[in-house]
Structure 1
Amino acid sequence: MKNNFGIILISLFLKLATAEVLYYQPEQVHIAYGANIFEIIVTWSTFNETPNSLVEYGIGGLVLQAEGTSTLFVDGGKGKHSQYIHKVVLKKLTPDSTYQYHCGSDLGWSNLFNFKTAPDSPGWQPHLAIYGDMGNENAQSLVRLQEETQRGLYDAILHVGDFAYDMDSNNAEVGDQFMRQIESIAAYLPYMTCPGNHEEKYNFSNYRARFSMPSGPDSYMYSIDIGPLHVISISTEVYYFVEYGIKPLVFQYEWLEDNLAKANLPENREKQPWIIVMGHRPMYCSNTDMDDCTQHETLTRVGLPFLHFFGLEDLLYNYGVDLAIWAHEHSYERLWPVYNYTVYNGSYEQPYVNPGAPVQFTTGSAGCKEGTDHFIPKLPDWSAFRSSDYGYTRLKAHNSSHLYIEQISDDKSGEVIDSFWIVKDKHGLYPGSKMNWAKVDKMRLKNMNN
């Protein structure tokens, strides 16, 4: 009898030891803008399926509940790492209010987080933190960004490509680590993104699954109006990974032109006078690494080789884009207003006052295991300021005529190492612009019909 009891205990112990451990606890929580700034998408992960995907939220208490969906994501690596990614949309939020929320299911809830909605006012001055190329190793700027987020310094984040280095590594466990690291920022602020070259593996599957942008998981591009800013996010990677087909490049180009045409309608440009485009790879750079942007015929600038179809520089110039933001180079570089390698400063004394071409800067030194990049000795005519310090950028829209930008050096304990104002008496087309007016008329008719 004793022997049988021992066998039963051993058998029970072996079953418990080999049983599957179930993980229902939410993690990797982050938020993003939805269709507009008064709509928030909450995204998180669990490693086992839950019966529902819920967010409890409210002003001063968790009095509201919204339900969403979960999708099984299986990484393309050998280990076939899998998890369930949950998405819930919070709609028609009250302006200028602080919401508390947590997310999860009947089997477990996340920590309690909060976010603040924007005022519904034409005088709102949004303050953004901007950077690219931040990994889970050597994420040097992360601590300072976490602290500034908790102090309420920012309204949103723009992460301009390259996450984790790389999200697919170790069967996507590196991606999990990175998403946990940024939770202390991304669970409190809309974390708006675009893909970079380090997201390419398995046709950008980790990027598309993990981040919830306004356009949904099947599209890399979207736009969002943030106060006086019309921010457009695109994928520069469609120019470089053509093994996934040429169709995404063509579709994005046509979508971008339509978006810019609509943004230039007088009624739209009056509400959002500042048109900003962000994408990962820059058109110009003066680094020493021989990346594409160090070449005269940069693909993002001129388009497809030889044919020069679908180049971005003409498009941004012809539709009066005010500011272009890039990353990829692990450094910071501010350009003079430039088009086709020609500088179009507003004046010698005030180059950014009524500039004659889009202003561009590259901010890709937030911190990663690859370190920072260096520059060629001679400063090109079109380059205004360069730094290889680890750091990130801040942008504040003061009104329809003044935009302030500054670069923060983490190496120098948060010192502002570069700052400038873009000032415009009026927004619109640059001299010699060749806007497709038929596109604009098409957008005008579409607006009227809607």
Structure 2
Amino acid sequence: MYTNSLQDIVVTWSTRSSTNQSVVNFAEHYIHDKLIIVSGIWQRFQDGGKQARTQYIHKVTLTSLKPDTRYEYSCGSNLGWSAVYNFKTPPAGDKWSPSLAIYGDMGNENAQSLARLQQDTQHGMYDAIIHVGDFAYDMDTNDARVGDEFMRQIETVAAYVPYMVCPGNHEEKYNFSNYRTRFNMPGEGDSLWYSFNMGPVHFVSFSTEVYYFLDYGMKLLTKQFEWLEQDLAEANLPENRAKRPWIITYGHRPMYCSDDKEYDCDGNLETYIRQGLPLLKWFGLEDLFYKHGVDVEFFAHEHFYTRLWPIYDFKVYNGSTDAPYTNPKAPIQIITGSAGCNENREPFSTNLPDWNAFHSNDYGYTRLKAHNATHLYFEQVSDDKDGQIVDSFWVIKDKHGAYS
């Protein structure tokens, strides 16, 4: 399930056989004679593996939903129906306080954080989930059977709250076909890039992988960069920042990190997404995000959690010595790639850079609460420590816009 707008929800599921129908029955109370019946579309998906396994992906959009209302629904066809699930729509307008869980790098094996995320979701703690790339490890493995199993694993989360995603390097096989088909995000970027609004926040999702898998051509890279320029410029207009002051981005590979193992991210080398393609320095994102006043940037890829000081061009731009995240003078970056996978944890560099404010390689995930136009609250949950909060901080801004 994902959110297409504040009043639309899209339900997606798959079947092994063709049903020739894609139907969702829903209502505020799941009573047979009061159900609203909505039909959608389906597409045939053939995995690129040797067995060329086929399945059918179904997509139904529920529109004109009432704000702040709980609905119950089931999906299927005359050949069979799912269990009855439920979701709650957000309040009307922009002046409400969404809560989200955010993480990357969660696999079918060793998904350490999943049980706690399922429990949180069932307790109604989140308005949405953001998964910052790398799913299942990998969705194409064993002729996409691992992808099937992973989608079943996250059902107890994704059937109840919008599950928003971006691609990671582990989705690359067959030109990201498993990712593109299984996840139908809003917009026209083939789920590789899109944006959506939630309360006082404009969220922007993008693909870092268009910088690395150039065998598929340069077109995706140029199209995404043009789209990002346009989307961020519009979000940064004074009238839009008055309604939704916070701009938060998420993409898989980080601009900065402190892992000695990474060939392009050891704290000294220039990352492609930060500076642009090697030698040419085209399509770098750090200047673009700085120019349009992005407040917070989420990344994953590294199997740990790192909170950075406000940073631009390797320099720290804290708001003040006593309150570094109050009116910071550069974007704040968070790496949250420790949800759990079969590649286990990754070590930190022996000598951590000055811009590293806090780090942990406990399995876990990040929570975000957008309180209002001036205050964001973050905390890092440690699954190793039975749900203990190992890091928390506020970001406070009196004014939003381009950094000078």
TM-score (norm 1): 0.88
TM-aligned CA deviation for residue 322 of structure 1: 0.3
Gap change, CA 1:228 and 1:389, over 3 Å in 2: same
Q: 2:365 touches 2:380 (CA, 8 Å); kept in 1?
A: yes
1:346 is aligned to 2:315: no
1:227 is aligned to 2:227: no
TM-aligned CA deviation for residue 370 of structure 1: 0.4
2:250 aligned partner: 278
1:419 is aligned to 2:398: no
Q: Distance in 1 between matches of 2:116 and 2:392?
A: 19
Higher-helix-fraction structure = 1
Q: Distance in 1 between matches of 2:293 and 2:51?
A: 48
What is the SS of the residue equivalent to 1:293? coil
Q: Which amino acid aligns with 2:133?
A: G
Q: 1:51 touches 1:106 (CA, 8 Å); kept in 2?
A: no
TM-aligned CA deviation for residue 267 of structure 1: 1.4
Equivalent residue in structure 1 for 2:222, among 247, 250, 269:
250
Per-residue Cα deviation, 1:111-143 (whole angstroms, up to 9, x for no partner): 000000000144311000000000000000000
Q: 1:196 touches 1:328 (CA, 8 Å); kept in 2?
A: yes
TM-aligned CA deviation for residue 343 of structure 1: 0.4
What is the SS of the residue equivalent to 1:250? helix
Per-residue Cα deviation, 1:184-236 (whole angstroms, up to 9, x for no partner): 00000100000000000000000000001002573411000000010000000
Q: Distance in 2 between matches of 1:362 and 1:303?
A: 20
2:9 aligned partner: 40
1:165 aligned partner: 137
Please, what is the CA RMSD of the aligned residues? 0.9
Structure 2: state its 5+ residue gaps: none
Aligned residues: 400
TM-aligned CA deviation for residue 428 of structure 1: 0.8
Q: Distance in 2 between matches of 1:134 and 1:228?
A: 28
Per-residue Cα deviation, 1:376-396 (whole angstroms, up to 9, x for no partner): 122211110011100000000
Equivalent residue in structure 2 for 1:182, among 147, 154, 164:
154
1:362 aligned partner: 335
1:52 is aligned to 2:21: yes
Q: Distance in 2 between matches of 1:95 and 1:299?
A: 41
Q: 1:162 touches 1:199 (CA, 8 Å); kept in 2?
A: yes
Per-residue Cα deviation, 1:404-449 (whole angstroms, up to 9, x for no partner): 0110000000000001111001101111xxxxxxxxxxxxxxxxxx
Gap change, CA 1:291 and 1:153, over 3 Å in 2: farther
Q: Which amino acid aligns with 1:120?
A: A
Q: Distance in 2 between matches of 1:425 and 1:228?
A: 14
Higher mean displacement: 103-112 or 58-67: 58-67
Q: 2:298 touches 2:333 (CA, 8 Å); kept in 1?
A: yes
Q: Distance in 2 between matches of 1:161 and 1:122?
A: 27
1:103 aligned partner: 75
Q: Distance in 2 between matches of 1:321 and 1:233?
A: 12
1:196 aligned partner: 168
Q: Distance in 2 between matches of 1:349 and 1:43?
A: 47
Q: Distance in 2 between matches of 1:291 and 1:112?
A: 47
Q: Distance in 1 between matches of 2:75 and 2:261?
A: 44
1:306 aligned partner: 279
TM-aligned CA deviation for residue 61 of structure 1: 2.4
1:84 aligned partner: 56
Q: Which amino acid aligns with 2:204?
A: I
Q: Which amino acid aligns with 1:385?
A: F
What is the SS of the residue equivalent to 1:292? coil
Q: Which amino acid aligns with 1:188?
A: Y
What is the SS of the residue equivalent to 2:265? helix
Q: 1:54 touches 1:67 (CA, 8 Å); kept in 2?
A: yes
TM-aligned CA deviation for residue 369 of structure 1: 0.4
Q: 2:200 touches 2:373 (CA, 8 Å); kept in 1?
A: yes
1:17 aligned partner: none
Q: Distance in 1 between matches of 2:128 and 2:380?
A: 17
Q: 1:208 touches 1:217 (CA, 8 Å); kept in 2?
A: no
Q: Distance in 2 between matches of 1:37 and 1:286?
A: 37
Structure 1: state its 5+ residue gaps: 1-30, 432-450
Q: Distance in 2 between matches of 1:315 and 1:165?
A: 31
Gap change, CA 1:194 and 1:306, over 3 Å in 2: same
1:401 aligned partner: 374
Larger Rg: 1
Q: 1:209 touches 1:217 (CA, 8 Å); kept in 2?
A: no
Per-residue Cα deviation, 1:23-56 (whole angstroms, up to 9, x for no partner): xxxxxxxx0011x121111000110000311000
Q: Distance in 1 between matches of 2:94 and 2:151?
A: 34
